[in-house]
A and B are shown apart, each in its own frame.
Chain A
């Protein structure tokens, strides 16, 4: 069965390692924070100027001067630090953030990502996405494998305006875990429970590489 959003978040949480500094995008990536094992010490970065995002506040703790990049009220963990936007993107551009998890509308087989604009329809702006994808050492994309109308979102080339080129390493969808290869193509690493390789092939418009038996994801 294909994964739901929580399943995708749980699978991505398995990629997190002890000691990482991590930037989480809006949507499914934000959910990942809920499934990072407690024994791992990680620090979440919010590009509006905070290292050390904590849980959501109680009613009494709500502070309008403390929000995340999705404009949600948050709290700070012990050891947090606040800074301005220039410093924040300095640490992103400078390669100091270990892992970036973000959503996408399309990914191409050479690792290009499109997630900021639908011409004539959506005019919102790129926010920090272009800075993040241009500099991050390790980018994992969380997305649905196909659009609502059934079109593949894993393509040979992106059809939408791109956010960054050659930057995505790993993709976790409702159907599969895939790794973008240096020479191009999506290497199939894992299948969602009960999903067949043929189903994944059917849903992937870009070049899918299948090497031998592909294991099922293990999701708790």
Chain B
């Protein structure tokens, strides 16, 4: 059986070069590849293009890689939680493509599924549509949007097996499954790593065919952005 297990995050990311295009799973700080981000801070690669719904916060997630000036370009839908991001954007240090969240999700899905482009209504008539082909279907206008693919996808799952199959938990699934499929090399970090055969095939969300490397992550912080409770 194919064994995709690597020792840890350092080994998993060691061949990611400067200038690489990365996808990073997560919504806010929920379901982000914490271990792989920490390892990239150590390798110090630069000029990265990061495709991720958000850009972390100032002192966690992708925000840490912004601080060390490792990111050249961000492709995201919402970046409101990060003052350093906003500073680098307004000063011109950082290139940013802001795209509608559903369009981002579908562009990534299309990348993994071999569909080069598709029509969507999101952004028609707004500045998002500038320079894009439009077309009418059944009386409504749509924009042509193209696929997104990555050199490396960094995803985080709850459970995984040695064959690379993944199961996510709660809303930590978000962009992770589509990104797993859209990376040339997909690196999955999991909280629990089990031998192939132990996960119920009925319950697997992401088939191992999309995952090239898997490791058991350590020391998950799982920071919460808005801790709201009832008494």
Contact residues of A with B, CB < 8 Å? Answer: 46-50, 55-59, 62-74, 82-86, 88-90, 92-93, 112, 123-131, 134-135, 161-166
Q: Which residues of A contact B80 (CB under 8 A)?
A: 124-125
- Choose from B90, B102, B158, B176 the contact partner of A93 (Cβ within 8 Å): B102
In the bound complex, how far is the Cα of B177 from the Cα of A88, in angstroms? Answer: 13
- Choose from A49, A58, A112, A131 the contact partner of B171 (Cβ within 8 Å): A49
In the bound complex, how far is the Cα of B24 from the Cα of A116, in angstroms? Answer: 24
A58-B230, A62-B229, A64-B222 in contact; A84/B77 too (CB < 8 A)? no
- Choose from B78, B104, B168 the contact partner of A124 (Cβ within 8 Å): B78
| A84→B176 contact, CB < 8 A | yes
User: B116 an interface residue at 8 Å Cβ cutoff?
Assistant: no
A48-B30, A128-B77 in contact; A85/B105 too (CB < 8 A)? yes
Indicate the size class of the contact surface on chain B: 35 or more
- Which residues of B (42-77) have their CB < 8 Å from a CB of A? 53, 76-77
In the bound complex, how far is the Cα of B164 from the Cα of A183, in angstroms? Answer: 56
Q: Which residues of A contact B79 (CB under 8 A)?
A: 123-125
Q: Which residues of A contact B171 (CB under 8 A)?
A: 46, 48-50, 65-68, 82
Nearest residue (CB) in B for A85 is: B105
| A84→B100 contact, CB < 8 A | no
Q: Which residues of A contact B90 (CB under 8 A)?
A: 123
Q: Which residues of B contact A85 (CB under 8 A)?
A: 27, 53, 101-102, 104-105, 174-175, 178
User: B103 an interface residue at 8 Å Cβ cutoff?
Assistant: yes
Nearest residue (CB) in B for A165 is: B125
A64-B30, A86-B105 in contact; A49/B123 too (CB < 8 A)? no
In the bound complex, how far is the Cα of B229 from the Cα of A83, in angstroms? Answer: 24
Q: Which residues of A contact B170 (CB under 8 A)?
A: 63, 65-66, 82
In the bound complex, how far is the Cα of B31 from the Cα of A124, in angstroms? Answer: 21
A58-B229, A86-B106, A123-B86 in contact; A48/B124 too (CB < 8 A)? no
User: B202 an interface residue at 8 Å Cβ cutoff?
Assistant: no
Least Cβ–Cβ distance between B147 and chain A, in angstroms: 12
| B78→A127 contact, CB < 8 A | yes
A59-B229, A162-B126 in contact; A92/B222 too (CB < 8 A)? no
| A86→B100 contact, CB < 8 A | no
Nearest residue (CB) in B for A63 is: B170
In the bound complex, how far is the Cα of B77 from the Cα of A58, in angstroms? Answer: 30
Nearest residue (CB) in B for A48 is: B27
In the bound complex, how far is the Cα of B90 from the Cα of A187, in angstroms? Answer: 40
Q: Which residues of B contact A126 (CB under 8 A)?
A: 77-78, 98, 100-101, 128
Q: Which 8 A-B pairs have the closest CB atoms?
A: A89-B102, A131-B102, A124-B80, A65-B170, A64-B222, A165-B125, A130-B100, A127-B78
Nearest residue (CB) in A for B97 is: A125
User: B108 an interface residue at 8 Å Cβ cutoff?
Assistant: yes
Q: Which residues of B contact A69 (CB under 8 A)?
A: 27
Nearest residue (CB) in B for A70 is: B226
A-B contact pairs, 29 of them (CB 8 A): A55-B230, A58-B229, A64-B30, A64-B222, A65-B169, A67-B171, A71-B29, A72-B226, A73-B224, A73-B226, A82-B168, A82-B170, A83-B173, A88-B102, A126-B78, A126-B98, A126-B100, A127-B78, A130-B100, A130-B123, A130-B128, A131-B120, A131-B122, A134-B120, A134-B124, A164-B124, A165-B124, A165-B125, A165-B126
